[in-house]
A and B are shown apart, each in its own frame.
Chain A
Amino acid sequence: DTGVSQDPRHKITKRGQNVTFRCDPISEHNRLYWYRQTLGQGPEFLTYFQNEAQLEKSRLLSDRFSAERPKGSFSTLEIQRTEQGDSAMYLCASSSGTGGPRSSYNEQFFGPGTRLTVL
């Protein structure tokens, strides 16, 4: 299977702990995105990368959140000093990046997500 993969699938942590999630995009996809989805809502954009460059960050991404894509392949999302309000599904997506926003090549393919529960 060559789809987007995420690890771990589930994470339970205590408030105040740090957590790190990993995303492996579809091979050769240049753009990688992180979204957060809370129960009953549509996903909300957090940040995206074109290769290793982080090009856009949402205001949702507080200073406790940091994302990296050091070699332009996999990406990590770290949350420091977790709070109960961070409990959500964290979704990663990738797109080929060969077209503009109106191109079908910008279609984003999502991974299975990481479900975070902060106790």
Chain B
Amino acid sequence: TQLLEQSPQFLSIQEGENLTVYCNSSSVFSSLQWYRQEPGEGPVLLVTVVTGGEVKKLKRLTFQFGDARKDSSLHITAAQPGDTGLYLCAGTTTSGTYKYIFGTGTRLKVLA
């Protein structure tokens, strides 16, 4: 059972455009992370959110955790070719386990 659904699965946009990636679940998460992964490499941590309603910014990337801690979004402003990659959300459920449940992934391609 996939607890975290990401949308869209694929996104191809022109340099300079804005985009939003969504990560949704029917379960409550204790914390939620966003990662970016390049082909053949491991995921690289971008941000962690733990409080409902929390908003974090990382340069042109804005991350939001839903009030009920069941969903999250990643917004990229003025996308650049260097933003190309696989974006993954991951979280720990409220069961007390430390393992991550990963989302299905969003593959982003930014064209120059």
Contact = CB atoms under 8 A, between A and B. Distances in A.
A79 interface: no
Contacts, number: 80
A45 B41 contact: no
A67 interface: no
B79 interface: no
Interface in B58-88: 88
A44 to B, nearest CB: 7
A84 B39 CA distance: 21
A110 B92 contact: no
Interface string A99-111: 0111110111111
B104 A107 contact: no
Interface residues of A, number: 32
A91 B44 CA distance: 12
B7 interface: no
B103 A42 contact: yes
Nearest to B105: A42
A43 B100 CA distance: 9
Contacts of B50: 102-104
B53 interface: no
Nearest to B99: A45
B99 A33 contact: yes
B45 interface: yes
A58 B97 CA distance: 12
B16 interface: no
A108 B97 contact: no
Interface of A: 4, 6, 31, 33, 35, 40-45, 48, 56, 58, 91, 93, 95, 97, 100-104, 106-113, 115
16 contacts: A31-B98, A33-B100, A40-B105, A42-B4, A42-B105, A43-B43, A43-B88, A44-B102, A101-B31, A101-B97, A104-B50, A106-B31, A106-B98, A107-B48, A110-B44, A115-B40
